[in-house]
Amino acid sequence: MVRRSSFALAAALSTVALTTTAAVSFTGHDGDAASPVSAEPAVQPTAVAITSAVVTDPEVRSASQKADAVLTDAEYVAREGDLSAKDRKQLRAATDDLRTVLAQARAAGTAVGTRQTGAASRNSDRAPLAERATDVAATAEADNAAAPAATRPTNLAGAATGVTPIIEQTAVDLPIFSTPLADQVELNPEAEAADEETSDTVDTAEVSVTTAAPSADRIAKATTSLQRLITRTDGDAVVSVKAGPTPEEIAAARKAVLEARAARAARSAERAALRARKEAAARAAEAKAMAEAAKGYGNGQIPSSVLCDLSWVPGEQLRCDAAAALEDLNGAFRAAFGRNLGVADGYRSYADQVAVAASRGALAAVPGTSNHGLGQAVDLSGGIESFGSAEYSWMAANAGKYGWEHPAWAEPGGSKPEPWHWEYGTTY
């Protein structure tokens, strides 16, 4: 028996329909004109669309959600927990194991869920090859048994002339002819076997993926294993939670900060004062050396190279020890009055003494005898030049602290009252 596929059967039915239509005759009763009878078209095979839909197992989905929550806890514990190296290693291993299980479960669900319809197994769409062969054979035998014996269409000419046919027949009684086209459309056994093998391979792959997917119980076991590492005996968490500071502790900490800041400021001020003292001592030593050098020269004959300038009065010089002392006195005066001392005259050379004596007469010292010629006297201004002024009173109270004095002869009852004249380190 020749086996035919469903396609071959459809082609055979189409051929029979065409042949029957061509061979149908017009029949009549009692000499009436016959009416044409058309054969019903052959039934075409209907294509059935197969949609692959995979629904995730609710138990697996629930177990996966719990596993995700535990993984989040594990990440926090690994990052913030007070763990030993051993505990941390075990926690990471359990975390990796659970992640692997979840990845396998989700990969298996994705592989089946996104499977293309065209690649789906056709085992669910058609019967096995052997069963289909048997069904086709049974259908063919049933058709042959139901069909009447083949009859030659000799009544075509009689129908054309209106003669009553010898054998009365209707369209439904017409035989089905076996045509070469129907006989030639046969199934290719090798192609059918290859197609069946491909379908079985795809089905096997799907079964393997489904079998490899971890179960809800497997996910739950991995989750429980990780959860045990996160917790300790009696459910104590591994994470060390430290209580915040109390108000007393905050106040103590603030006080400690302020005290530390004050201590640093004190140390800084002490260092600055020490530097200032050292610098002052160095300047004093240098000034003393320069003063000793100036003593080697006569009155009004001291060169500028062994004298020192006043920082706030350009062009005025004094013996270096007197200049250093006046710098300190000026600082104190500026702190009290917000301005520098007014200096009208400092060191006078012999020529300058002669000029002053010529202009002032008896009020000026004899040239070569003035303390201005030694670089140890100044004439001040800015209020100090008036007895009873605030500036003069301040000088009278504070100048001696820095080595500067107002000579007795220059006092209000002296031989030559001069409130502006002040001297450094002189003796009479």
Calculate the CA dihedral of residues 112, 113, 117, 118 and round it to 10 degrees: -40
pLDDT tens-digit readout, 120-131: 444 444 445 445
pLDDT category, 63, cuts 50, 70, 90? confident
Q: What is the pTM of this model?
A: 0.41
Tell me 361's DSSP state: G
Q: What is the pLDDT of residue 152?
A: 45
Query: Is 114 exposed, middle or buried (CB count within 10 Å of its CB: 0-12, 13-18, 19+)?
Result: exposed
Pair 77, 91: CB distance under 8 Å: yes
Token code pair at residue 60: 């697996």
Q: What is the DSSP string of 3-19?
A: ---HHHHHHHHHHHHHH
Q: Report how far residue 137's alpha carbon sits from residue 151's, in angstroms, rounded to the nearest whole number.
A: 24
Residue 412 has pLDDT above 90, yes or no: yes
d(CA 103, CA 107): 6
Length in residues, the chain: 428
User: How much is the pLDDT for 135?
Assistant: 52
* pLDDT exceeds 80 at position 17: no
Give the mean model confidence (pLDDT) for residues 71-90.
Answer: 83
Kindly state the helix (H) or strand (E) to which residue 310 belongs, with its residue range: strand 307-310
Contact 179, 116 (CB under 8 A): no
Q: Which of 65-69, 198-202, 346-350, 412-416 has the lowest mean pLDDT?
A: 198-202
**Predicted confidence (pLDDT) at residue 174 exceeds the cutoff of 90:** no
Mean pLDDT of 87-115: 78
Q: Give the pLDDT of residue 110.
A: 55
Mean local confidence (pLDDT), 315-340: 95
- With a pLDDT cut of 90, the percent of the chain lying above it is 39
According to the model, what pLDDT value does residue 136 have? 44
The model's pLDDT over 346-401, given as tens digits with 9 standing for 90+, comes to 999 999 999 999 998 888 899 999 999 999 999 999 999 999 999 999 999 999 99
Q: What pLDDT score does 354 carry?
A: 95
Give me the mean pLDDT over the 125-154 stretch. 47
Mean pLDDT for 232-238 is: 42
More confident residue, 146 or 105: 105
Question: What's the CA gap between 251 and 385, in Å, rounded?
Answer: 58
Higher per-residue confidence, 16 vs 424: 424
- Looking at residue 33, its pLDDT comes to 39
| Residue 22 reports pLDDT greater than 50 | no
* Long-range pairs, 298-306, Cβ under 8 A, ≥24: 298/368, 299/350, 299/368, 299/369, 299/370, 299/373, 299/374, 300/348, 300/349, 300/350, 300/351, 300/352, 300/353, 300/367, 300/368, 300/370, 300/373, 301/349, 301/350, 301/373, 302/347, 302/373, 302/374, 302/375
In order of 322, 391, 398, the CA distances from 402 in angstroms are 9, 16, 8
Q: Does residue 61 contact residue 32 with C-beta atoms inside 8 Å?
A: no
pLDDT for position 212 = 61
CB neighbourhood size of 63 (10 A): 24
DSSP secondary structure code for residue 2 in this structure: -
Q: What is the dihedral of CA 11, 13, 17, 23, to 10 degrees?
A: 100
Distances (CA, A) of 184 to 136, 148, 281, 376: 16, 24, 129, 144
pLDDT of the residue at 24 = 41
Model pLDDT, residue 190: 53
Only one residue has tokens 């004899």, namely 366
Residue 413 in this model has a pLDDT that exceeds 80: yes
Grouping H, G, I as helix, E, B as strand and the rest as coil, residue 221 is helix
Mean pLDDT of 416-428: 88
Domains of the chain: residue spans and CATH: 1-239 (no CATH), 294-424 (3.30.1380.10)
Per the CB < 8 A criterion, the answer to whether 37 and 24 are in contact is: yes
Provide DSSP, 222-286.
Answer: HHHHHHHHHB-GGG-BSS--PPPPPHHHHHHHHHHHHHHHHHHHHHHHHHHHHHHHHHHHHHHHH
- 91 touches 83 (CB < 8 A): yes
Report, as an integer, the average pLDDT of 247-265: 94
Q: Which whole number is the average pLDDT over 75-91?
A: 82
